[in-house]
Chain A
Amino acid sequence: MNAAAVNVATGHDPVAETAPGDTLLYLEDVTVSFDGFKALNALSLAIAKGEMRTVIGPNGAGKTTMMDVITGKTRPDTGRVQFGDRIDLTRLDEAGVANLGIGRKFQKPTVFENLTVFENLELALKCDRGTFATLLARLDGSARRRIADMLDLIGLGEHRHRPAGALSHGQKQWLEIGMLLLTDPQLLLLDEPVAGMTDIETEQTAALFKELAGSHTLVVVEHDMQFVRELGVRVTVLHEGSVLAEGSLDHVQKDQRVVDVYLGR
């Protein structure tokens, strides 16, 4: 924090100048329109392997549509969406994208309410997703251990046999994050992961994400500026479907256009 503040004071943006690793996710000139309304307008974005990126922007800026395009839910009208060296994500459906190791957390926590916490995690655990493989699947010892470890990590060990619908909002958020982690993702797309969490839970989530960065690549869409500040990583500001500004939080907050977009609406 201090180092960043000092650098910003000298006009330097440390996050912007970190040497980029291999690009894991690459969006180029992506446009999506719904009935003439351009939800994404020539959006270009590159996320490096192991990077954690926060994406902010006012309502309707295209954050969720961007997630939809990456995860195969929405096909872009034009533009390229590339994962790793040569995988074209626009050719795959949701399940295909998920099986590449791209996990998505929804804005509203989405867990299987009628299944227990344990069963939610069991379904998420990485394995053969084929229909007949699923029919005949058995949980072995190592799978049980992985689920037990995840229950400890997300602090839901004592709730394992409760239906997920009985959990609190914050607990559901954690359960969904736990489910994503059990899919062994390379890239995690997290839409407002701390909405509805208490301050302590938010802090714990920030600590977890920082720990995951490096071994995982994370894209976090968030409204909670305190949380964005706590993550302390590069920020991309979306506005009207394209990138308005990019850099550290302090850097973008000083950007007059960003201030206008947030205050001038």
Chain B
Amino acid sequence: MPEADRQSLMTPRGWAAFLAVGFVLIVLIPVANRLVTPGGALHLPEYLVPLIGKYCCYAMLAVAMDLIWGYAGILSLGQGAFFALGGYCMGMYLMRQIGDRGVYKNPVLPDFMVFLNWKELPWYWHGFDMFWFAALMVVVVPGVLAFVLGWLAFRSRVTGVYLSIITQALTFALMLAFFRNNMGFGGNNGLTDFKDLLGFTVQSQPTRVGLLIASAIGLGLAFLLCRWIITSKLGRVCLALRDAESRVRFLGYSPTGAKLFVFVVAAMISGVAGALYVPQVGIINPGEFSPANSIEIAIWVAVGGRGTLAGAILGAFIVNAAKTWLTGAAPEVWLFFLGALFIVVTLFLPHGVVGIVRDWQARRSAARATVLASTRPAEAT
């Protein structure tokens, strides 16, 4: 009985699914791409590797979104900002790695600064030539921003739609700022023409496979971290906050602390996702801050199933696969499809894809129970 009172990190079946997905992403896909000869039936085309890697980054973002929205009820529509900031930190490192291989052969200044006639590196670009510093900034910059914004908002008890609007405004403001050339982040071209990462050529296929593996590991770790938080007592406080915030206050918990914690953790995960994303797509520009991107993240989570981390991952893969296919097959339809998807999910699938699976399981076990009930009297006679 006491075991039932405590939530374990995952059920045995959950662990089996976790390891199976990990095996596919980290072992099977790289093997199918690298070891199976091209043309073979099991060969994975080259272009799919960075694509799946990109989906893993999106899924990380979805997991972070689900932590704050699905569990703590914070509908942030600015998660794309933290993703983009993490991406810019990685982009700055990659720019510094180019060194004198740029068009203007300047060993220190990136091409766009030479082009703008800048004479020296702005202070905030210092240190990004070192990977460890850039990696640290990938979590510190989004984390600090989330802390400041969250502290101001949660302390003033800004919730619901007001918080959504503030976070939208944040990402919009950052987008406008990063579009400006004199911000020193490459203006609307952003950062691109990357050469190498930790000595590996960014465009080479082995590096791409490595980045896919890194993204899959990142996704797995983000999933485990969030899973650990939601199965902790703090996770139950977050659920309680969603149900009855005033009761939580009157029990002596500070909602500000709990919300701030998950908000900062989610921002850091988003930052890491952005950093893994940038070398795989080869560019980061202010478009990543676009408010529409942040709204899309909420749609992934809603489609997959809010309040289940696995659902968030599923939603990110499903919607983005649909996006990849539709923007190729019928580009003008995509936005209508996205809008329709959001309406359908909100109206008919409040628990997303995971909800459909659960309903189906429940109906099946109910059907089995009625079958048993109807056969039993027959056996008795």
Hey, which bits of chain A sit against chain B, CB under 8 A? 71, 73, 93-95, 98-99, 103-104, 106, 110-115, 118-119, 122-124, 129-132, 134-137, 139, 144, 160-161, 179, 183
Contact = CB atoms under 8 A, between A and B. Distances in A.
The 3 closest A-B pairs by CB, nearest first: A98-B252, A131-B257, A94-B249
B358 to A, nearest CB: 15
A72 B250 CA distance: 9
Contacts, number: 90
A111 B247 contact: yes
Contact of A123 (B237, B246, B249, B254): B237
B40 interface: no
Most chain A beta carbons < 10 A, residue from B242, B252, B253 = B252
Contacts of B232: 134-137
Contacts of B252: 95, 98-99, 129, 183
B258 interface: yes
B233 interface: yes
A161 B6 CA distance: 11
Interface in B1-27: 2, 4-6
A71 B258 CA distance: 21
B261 interface: yes
B261 A179 contact: no
Contacts of A135: 229, 232-234, 261
Q: Looking at chain B, what size class is its interface with the partner chain?
A: 20 to 34
Interface string B240-267: 1011101111111110011011000000
B233 A122 contact: yes
A111 B234 contact: no
B364 interface: no
B57 to A, nearest CB: 26
B251 A183 contact: yes
A225 B63 CA distance: 53
A122 B250 contact: no
B224 interface: no
A86 B229 CA distance: 39
B341 interface: no
A131 B261 CA distance: 8
Given A112-B240, A113-B243, A135-B234, A71 B250 contact: yes
A119 B230 CA distance: 13
Given A134-B232, A161-B4, A129 B240 contact: no
Given A118-B5, A137-B232, A161-B4, A104 B250 contact: yes
Contact of A144 (B5, B242, B246, B260): B5
A129 B2 contact: no
Given A95-B252, A119-B236, A112 B247 contact: yes
Contacts of A113: 243-244
